[in-house]
Amino acid sequence: MGGLLAIEKRALAKWAAVFVWMGVILFFSTERVRVEYGAFLPNAVHFVEYAILALLVRIALPSAGAGGSNSLALDAGAFLWATAYGIIMEIVQRYVPTRSPDIKDALVNSFGALAALLAAKMVDKAKEKRD
């Protein structure tokens, strides 16, 4: 019983990290004070935010019974989760007076998620070869 409880706590911690990070993204997506940084920095921030989200979801999904730690279904699920959340955040921004939705941001979000998942897949393959 103690082992099962430990597994459940680890799964809860993984999902808590996902939802806390989603809250961070939500906070910055709805902030009223916006500083203009030029074109590059906001894109880089979007890219990194959703790269991190995709990796956190990739780590959490196996605890929900979704594929092995190295499965295509796991990566697809993490990509879809991050992409869907990015789209939702762009829709939310339509209702924030100082923000507006931008398809380019949604694409950058998706590319960040995809790049992180591809990098994770390459790390997994390198580990397999080493073992």
Q: Which residues contact 124 (CB under 8 A, 6 or more apart)?
A: 69, 70
| 67 pLDDT tier (thresholds 50, 70, 90) | low
Report how far Cα 31 is from the mean position of its chain's Cα atoms.
19
Check pLDDT > 60 for residue 34: no
Average pLDDT, integer, range 38-58: 88
CA separation for the pair 56, 14 (Å, rounded): 7
pLDDT at residue 37 in the model: 60
Q: Residues 76-109: pLDDT tens digits? A: 999 999 999 999 999 999 998 888 889 999 999 9
* pLDDT score at 20: 97
What integer pLDDT is reported at residue 129 of this predicted model?
84
Q: Which domain holds residue 123?
A: 2-130
Which pLDDT does position 32 carry in this prediction? 60
| Alpha carbon distance 26, 57 (integer Å) | 16
Whether 69 shows a pLDDT value over 90: the answer reads no
| Total domains, the chain | 1
Contact between 117 and 58 under an 8 Å Cβ cutoff? The reply is: yes
